[in-house]
Amino acid sequence: MKRPWFNILLLALLSCSENEDNGEGDMLETNAILPSTILLKEIPAGTFMMGGSTVQNDAPEVSITMTSFKISEKEITNQDYINFLNGAYSHGWITVSEKQTSDPCGTYTEQMVIGAGNAPNAGEIFLQLGETGGCTSGGEPEHIKNKSWISFNVSSNTFELIDATKADWPVNWIKWYGAYAFAKYYDVSLPTEAQWEYAAKGGKQLTYPTDDGTLDLTKANYNGEKPGIYNPNGHALNVGSYPDNPFGLYDMGGNVWEWCQDYYGESFYTNGSTDPINTNAAANNKRVRRGGSWNYHASTLLTYARASDFENRGNNHFGFRIVKN
């Protein structure tokens, strides 16, 4: 049985005068520069057919026109997110809360990154950090290869990698709030769903977002061996481990699901629209995620396959990439 939460705020208490400068405006004044490790690819303007009809939750096919934009060629990595966390921590945008949990494997600590001050969505959990233990009710280690590989060092007040070999794995356990905060910090955006699909199709109406539009286990990291069944031995891989698509983008299919800017709407898109974005929360308040993951079957990697989730939900296969308009 899990023990109650013990909220231990690890954020060093800032003075009142410091707190007055920790707003979103202050973040813009710091001119946080997107790390040079995050390369942006220019996506030309064009018109494409968005949507499909063979997978659940697909939108009807419609013609959409896109203006040009830039998108990160790879998914945001653990190291990229650590750089953000340390910067955001120094500006009072986040706190870290701990809980101690017991299960058949013993007692361990979980950490949560929570928005603070004038950060966007302050008070919401951005990210679940690495666990020091954890197992199933049967006593088996749980998702040991897929925990968050980021931890918070209480002694140095810094975020660190648990395992240096995972620096270039895509960051996971990211909630939509955490992806959005990263984008705001660097004055960029999450991709709209239309931008994401346009980029995934590579200017060629690809069926899958691979180098040639076909899919097998040499082209993407997905659950191809046990389709439709959770694969406990699967895990993320270094970003860019598979061939890029015609726009020069890696892992648009598989590795981790990618959060988009939009709220999810089954019939939002209309024929002939330009740069659409769904800002209507509707009843379910869910955001779009795209691309499938290491744990999902081939149909979720289709360039037009859609999924959604609540903003406050993270998972061991949820990540993101960014755009600059």
Q: Residue 35's pLDDT is what?
A: 92
C-alpha to C-alpha distance for 288 and 290, rounded to whole angstroms: 7
Domain membership flag for residue 219: no
The yes-or-no verdict on residue 118 having pLDDT over 90 is no
Q: Residue 128's pLDDT is what?
A: 87
For 123-139, the pLDDT digits (tens) are 999 998 875 455 555 55
Q: Residue 139's pLDDT is what?
A: 56
C-alpha to C-alpha distance for 89 and 9, rounded to whole angstroms: 12
Q: What's the pLDDT band for 20 if we cut at 50, 70, 90?
A: very low
C-alpha to C-alpha distance for 149 and 154, rounded to whole angstroms: 16
C-alpha to C-alpha distance for 151 and 3, rounded to whole angstroms: 21
pLDDT (average), residues 143-153: 78
Residue 12 is given by DSSP the state: P
For 103-116, the pLDDT digits (tens) are 666 777 778 999 99
Q: Residue 231's pLDDT is what?
A: 67
Q: Residue 142's pLDDT is what?
A: 53
- Total tally of structural domains belonging to the chain: 1
Q: Residue 267's pLDDT is what?
A: 82
For 25-51, the pLDDT digits (tens) are 334 444 689 999 999 999 999 999 999
Contact 264, 287 (CB under 8 A): yes
C-alpha to C-alpha distance for 37 and 13, rounded to whole angstroms: 32
Q: Residue 135's pLDDT is what?
A: 57
pLDDT (average), residues 189-203: 98
The yes-or-no verdict on residue 120 having pLDDT over 70 is yes
The DSSP string of 74-89 is: SPPBHHHHHHHHHHHH
Q: Residue 24's pLDDT is what?
A: 38
The yes-or-no verdict on residue 253 having pLDDT over 70 is yes
Characterize the bridge pairing of strands 106-115 and 125-128.
antiparallel
Of residues 161 and 104, which shows the higher confidence score? 161
The yes-or-no verdict on residue 58 having pLDDT over 80 is no
Residues forming beta bridges with residue 323, ordered by sequence position: 71, 189
Q: Which amino acid is at 226?
A: K
Domain membership flag for residue 230: no
Domain membership flag for residue 318: no
The yes-or-no verdict on residue 77 having pLDDT over 70 is yes
Domain membership flag for residue 249: no
Domain membership flag for residue 174: yes
pLDDT (average), residues 198-215: 97
Domain membership flag for residue 145: yes
Domain membership flag for residue 49: no
Closest among 105, 112, 169 to 140, alpha carbons compared? 105
Q: Which amino acid is at 163?
A: D
Residue-number span of the structural domain to which 91 is assigned: 16-31+78-181
Between CA 316 and CA 64, with CA 57 as vertex, the angle to 5 degrees is 105
Residues forming beta bridges with residue 318, ordered by sequence position: 257
Q: Residue 144's pLDDT is what?
A: 54
Q: Residue 197's pLDDT is what?
A: 97
Q: Residue 29's pLDDT is what?
A: 46
Q: Residue 307's pLDDT is what?
A: 93
The residue length of the chain stands at: 325
pLDDT (average), residues 248-257: 97
Q: Residue 27's pLDDT is what?
A: 42
Domain membership flag for residue 146: yes
For 267-322, the pLDDT digits (tens) are 889 999 999 999 999 777 899 999 999 989 899 999 999 999 999 999 889 999 99
Q: Residue 110's pLDDT is what?
A: 79
